[in-house]
């Protein structure tokens, strides 16, 4: 039986590009597309089957922002498969983004242009809303729904004598300054996206601490700056088209402007081929594209604080050049994990009460 791979947010952008790459690499794969919209999912499946007519591609309806949908989808996945080798937690949103145009134009002609474009730092805020479960939507989509999915799929991921990988599509926009342990849903801030991505970096570390002994390994990646529906929501497409020549030019000096979904999926694809035991739980794996268009993956930590980078490099010598660690630690990661468990308990109790209410 071929390896079983589940990709959330598989119907567009980086998720769809990853599916293409995985099927080109391994024709025996059993690929499951986890998507909220069935029409878009069918279109993606059709596109994949056009290029890979013999591929085994299935669809699971999964809205990661809805607790009910995650529980139902997980039940269906447990019913369909008896193993899960790769779980790509890729679905993500950045709703109602607001660009600080003053900072944008100022940064465009400054020495910080590359850093600004690569991380969105100081540039992006979002307006969040609530889900029907009463959770902050960005948190529920980018983090909590995926957390619940991992917990629900534990029996398929943890199999004696086998290893499995959980791989998060994080971002360079994951900033420690946007995250607060007392407000993990980011109710009181204006950078829910950055907070949720930083939380996914923390959660990945916590999953490694808890599940490595059971053969489950978690990693985070940054796809770089990629032109997808998500980025077209930040700036209108005409503006991206206008600044595209500049981006191609800047690519000669930085490698984080991956630009195409195929390039952005590089680190996700690279991780598929690694022995998970060899991966560093403290590293973020970056998809990078050189000025000449060559794709590669590098574990690194982008930071403006060179002193921090240098200190971390010296503290953690590694086989990779420029092997920077993420700005995370075990204490905060473990505290977040406990808070997520508590929230999971509350949410499950609420669902139980609602079910009882419906039957009585």
Ligand X SMILES: NC(=O)c1ccc[n+]([C@@H]2O[C@H](COP(=O)([O-])OP(=O)(O)OC[C@H]3O[C@@H](n4cnc5c(N)ncnc54)[C@H](OP(=O)(O)O)[C@@H]3O)[C@@H](O)[C@H]2O)c1
Residues in contact with ligand X by CB under 6 A are 8-9, 11-15, 35-37, 40, 62-65, 90-93, 141, 169, 171, 222-223, 225-226, 228-231
Nearest approach in angstroms of CB 161 to ligand X is 32
Beta bridge partners of 124: 99
Nearest approach in angstroms of CB 308 to ligand X is 22
Nearest approach in angstroms of CB 163 to ligand X is 24
Nearer to ligand X, 40 or 106 (CB): 40
For residue 291, count CB atoms less than 10 angstroms from its CB and return exposed for 0-12, middle for 13-18, buried for 19 or more: middle
Nearer to ligand X, 247 or 335 (CB): 247
CA distances from 2 to 22, 84, 188, 314 (A): 12, 10, 46, 42
Nearer to ligand X, 152 or 159 (CB): 152
Nearer to ligand X, 30 or 169 (CB): 169
Nearest approach in angstroms of CB 153 to ligand X is 15
Give the alpha-carbon dihedral of 228, 86, 331, 185, to 10 degrees: 40
Nearest approach in angstroms of CB 197 to ligand X is 7
Nearer to ligand X, 194 or 208 (CB): 194
Task: Tell me which residue of 305, 324, 299 sits closest to 313, measured CA to CA.
Answer: 324
C-alpha span between 51 and 44 (Å, rounded): 11
Q: Which of 86, 88, 193, 211 does the annotation list as catalytic?
A: 193
Sequence-ordered list of residues with C-beta below 8 angstroms from that of 41, at least 6 positions apart, any chain: 10, 11, 33, 35, 59, 61
Give the largest Cα separation in the chain, rounded: 66
Nearest approach in angstroms of CB 307 to ligand X is 26
C-alpha span between 78 and 58 (Å, rounded): 14
Mutual angle of helices 13-25 and 38-51, in 10-degree steps: 30
C-alpha span between 199 and 203 (Å, rounded): 6
Nearer to ligand X, 157 or 267 (CB): 267
Q: Is residue 193 annotated as part of the catalytic site, yes or no?
A: yes
Mutual angle of helices 145-152 and 67-80, in 10-degree steps: 30
Nearer to ligand X, 66 or 164 (CB): 66
Nearest approach in angstroms of CB 213 to ligand X is 28
Residues with active-site annotation: 193
């Amino acid at each position: 039986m071929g390896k079983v791979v589940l990709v959330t947010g598989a119907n567009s952008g980086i998720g769809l590009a990853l599916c293409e790459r995985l099927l080109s690499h391994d024709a025996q794969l059993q690929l499951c597309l986890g998507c909220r919209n069935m029409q878009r999912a069918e279109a993606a499946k059709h596109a994949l089957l056009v290029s890979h007519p013999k591929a085994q591609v299935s669809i699971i309806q999964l809205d990661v922002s809805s607790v009910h949908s995650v529980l139902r989808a997980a039940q269906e996945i447990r019913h369909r498969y008896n193993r899960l080798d790769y779980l790509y937690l890729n679905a993500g949103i950045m709703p109602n983004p607001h660009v600080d145009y003053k900072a944008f134009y100022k940064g465009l002609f400054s020495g910080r242009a590359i850093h600004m474009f690569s991380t969105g730092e100081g540039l992006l805020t979002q307006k969040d809303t609530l889900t029907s479960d009463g959770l902050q939507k960005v948190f529920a989509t980018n983090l909590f729904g995926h957390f619940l999915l991992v917990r629900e799929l534990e029996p398929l991921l943890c199999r004696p004598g086998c290893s499995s990988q959980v791989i998060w599509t994080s971002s360079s926009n994951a900033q420690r300054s946007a995250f607060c342990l007392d407000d993990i849903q980011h109710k009181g801030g204006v950078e829910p996206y950055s907070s949720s991505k930083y939380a996914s970096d923390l959660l990945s570390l916590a999953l490694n601490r808890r599940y490595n002994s059971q053969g489950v390994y978690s990693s985070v990646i940054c796809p770089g700056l990629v032109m997808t529906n998500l980025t077209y929501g930040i700036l209108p497409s005409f503006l991206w088209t206008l600044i595209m020549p500049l981006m191609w030019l800047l690519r000669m000096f930085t490698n984080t402007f991956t630009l195409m979904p195929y390039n952005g999926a590089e680190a996700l694809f690279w991780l598929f081929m690694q022995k998970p035991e060899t991966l560093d739980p403290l590293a973020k794996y970056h998809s990078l594209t050189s000025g000449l268009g060559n794709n590669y993956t590098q574990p690194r930590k982008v930071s403006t604080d060179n002193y921090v980078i240098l200190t971390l490099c010296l503290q953690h010598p590694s086989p990779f050049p420029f092997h920077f660690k993420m700005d995370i630690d075990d204490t905060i990661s473990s505290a977040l994990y406990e808070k997520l468990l508590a929230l999971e308990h509350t949410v499950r109790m609420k669902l139980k009460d609602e079910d009882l209410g419906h039957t009585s």
